Amino acid sequence: MSIRDEGRIVFQGTGNPEKQVFSLDLDALKAAEAAYGVNQWSLDFRNLPDGQAIVINVSGSGKRTWSPGWRVWVNGENRSTTINTRGDSWSGFRDVASRIMWNYPDASYLKLDYSHGTLQRSGYGVTAGDDVHGTMLGKGSLFPGSILLPNGSMTDYADTNGRLLIGGN
């Protein structure tokens, strides 16, 4: 599968052996989607000490849609994996996913959408060259971490790897 139109969100840590706290503005992210022509976002964590908790406070109220990307980097190392994978890639992904908490304090609704990607050859009900968004394969990206959405509801088409703490449905 090739990945196109994918942006990368860079989270720059302090390097200190303490909880790493980041802010993410969903309005700025939406503007960047239009400016850069991307339709999904991969995650790039830099200067993170081993084993430290990661909290991402996501600002933006109302209804929100997030199209997760296929890749996760930590300190330059690709920690990406796919569903039903075992071995080193799974262990590396689990390590970072177990430390992340996404906090959406103001969102009334969150939709974790299908991911985008293009198959190189036909299969799984998708023709070669077509986007997998909206198909079973588009659900194959893993969104790392737990999600706290205290004042909203959620629809999840991605594969999450953590706890979902949802105040609504």
pLDDT in tens, 126-137: 455 555 555 555
Domain membership of residue 88 (yes or no) is yes
Instruction: Tell me the β-bridge partners of 146.
Output: 101
Q: Which two tokens stand for residue 35?
A: 């400016």
pLDDT mean across residues, the chain? 82
Q: 58: domain range?
A: 6-166
44-58 pLDDT, tens per residue? 999 999 999 999 999
80 and 143 Cβ atoms separated by less than 8 Å? no
Q: Which two tokens stand for residue 148?
A: 């706290």
pTM here is 0.83
Is the confidence at residue 155, as pLDDT, over 70?
Answer: yes
Q: Which residue has the tokens 């994996």?
A: 81
Q: How many domains, the chain?
A: 1
Domain membership of residue 1 (yes or no) is no
Query: What's the half-sphere exposure (Cβ side, CA atoms, 13 Å) at 86?
Result: 0
Among 8-22, 31-45, 53-67, 93-107, name the one with the lowest average pLDDT: 31-45
Domain membership of residue 110 (yes or no) is yes
Domain membership of residue 53 (yes or no) is yes
